[in-house]
Structure 1
């Protein structure tokens, strides 16, 4: 891998992922031995944080950031990004703890960073696929992506996906302190900010597999938040376009 794209930090948010955490980190290091890991645990009552501390004690590549309450995916990632920017990491990766994001896909994603600033692991470009997902979830995901593309004018096919790799410069440029999105809307928010800032975004096909252990964090409130926020961003975009026409 390009030396300018090292070191790599993989941020893994956790809440009650004790069964999944150790296997996913083992797979990650098998696929990319040089990768560092930051587990951001939101006070998991099942002992995930204690397990992460044990893994960190045994392996200098593993780090843990403990938070006192479950404050949402977006807040966990922002905390992880801030931790990374305080150190010398060149690339920061988002990855779920539940095994739905295959670590074996990460080397291809990092290779694509040679010509990009943000690489999205995409389920909906040629070569990408979803495994063992209920039809309702697949419909919801595809519908959400279509709505976001139409509302925002974004050309990416999988703007809601949570498997992605950022160059450090992107996170330094974005005003992370102003990001208020909490659930999976956070993924749309960060990708859209990156596109608006003029960075190059590419998609790499991945295989997304439904989790085998534990429960999904998806809920109706997460879907509503995404719908409301994307609608507001889309209306703001249309308003800006209309104002520019009137000023001509």
Structure 2
């Protein structure tokens, strides 16, 4: 693999993080991993520090002072990666809802087939979600449909959080102008890549709900997405959205 790093934001993921580190770095000897931890009170960062001895020069940790949102954690990680020599950057959850075995599929879509952004998609071929209650499946599926309708992006899983970016695409985006911090962050990144006419592909994956730890989803995060996407689309139409 060309220089590649996986970014995993964490908050209270001690039950998952060491298993995920072993899965990613053990299966992919050429990949690096950056954990961006929001000062988890459960000691997630301490566990990462212990694992750094097992993966010297491949596992890295950035600890922020407080819980500041998924979007800002990824932006922190993107800037960290862009200051180094990586060519590909992954977004990935710590809880195994994103299968490490699928990293190769997304990487190949970018490195071999020329995509600027590869999305691990739950909905490009039916509905590939395991262990979610039907109410949450419907919420997620309909949210993606809503975003697709509003933005007119030809993307089935608009809220997906498992992605591979070419760093060259990230450099075209003004990361200081990314406004959303929660659920809507994933949509904003895709929409701005779409406005830049990036080559975006969806790779079908199976999403499995976490078995350990607690979900960070909240009604406030969903509300930000519903109202924020409309505002973002309107700004794009009148030419005031900064990409």
TM class, shorter-chain normalised?
over 0.9
TM-score normalised by structure 1 residue count: 0.92
Aligned to 1:99: 96
**Cα distance between partner residues in 2 of 1:74 and 1:201:** 20
**Cα distance between partner residues in 2 of 1:33 and 1:140:** 37
Aligned to 1:72: 69
Deviation at 1:239, TM superposition (A): 4.8
Aligned to 2:158: 159
Which shows bigger deviation, 199-208 or 30-39? 30-39
1:55-95 Cα shifts (integer Å, max 9, x gaps): 11331210000101000000000000000001001100000
Deviation at 1:236, TM superposition (A): 3.2
**Cα distance between partner residues in 1 of 2:29 and 2:108:** 15
Aligned to 1:58: 54
**Cα distance between partner residues in 2 of 1:23 and 1:163:** 18
Aligned to 1:220: 219
Match of 2:22 among 13, 21, 26: 26
Aligned to 1:119: 118
Which shows bigger deviation, 9-18 or 177-186? 177-186
**Cα distance between partner residues in 1 of 2:190 and 2:126:** 21
Aligned to 2:128: 129
Which structure has the greater CA radius of gyration? Answer: 1
Provide the secondary structure at the position in 2 that maps to 1:81: helix
**Cα distance between partner residues in 1 of 2:127 and 2:165:** 20
C-alpha contact (below 8 Å) 1:127/1:206 kept by paired residues: no
Name the CA shift for 1:23/1:217 in 2 (closer, same or farther; >3 Å).
same
Provide the secondary structure at the position in 1 that maps to 2:53: helix
Provide the secondary structure at the position in 1 that maps to 2:144: helix
C-alpha contact (below 8 Å) 1:120/1:165 kept by paired residues: yes
State yes or no: 1:17 paired with 2:16.
no
User: What is the CA RMSD across the aligned residues, in angstroms?
Assistant: 1.3
**Cα distance between partner residues in 2 of 1:233 and 1:64:** 32
Aligned to 1:108: 105
**Cα distance between partner residues in 1 of 2:63 and 2:127:** 34
Task: State the aligned residue count.
Answer: 236
TM-score normalised by structure 2 residue count: 0.94
1:157-216 Cα shifts (integer Å, max 9, x gaps): 011000000001011110001112110110000011101011100000111000001110
Aligned to 1:243: none
State yes or no: 1:43 paired with 2:26.
no
Which shows bigger deviation, 57-66 or 126-135? 126-135
Unpaired segments ≥5 residues, structure 1: 241-248
C-alpha contact (below 8 Å) 1:127/1:205 kept by paired residues: no
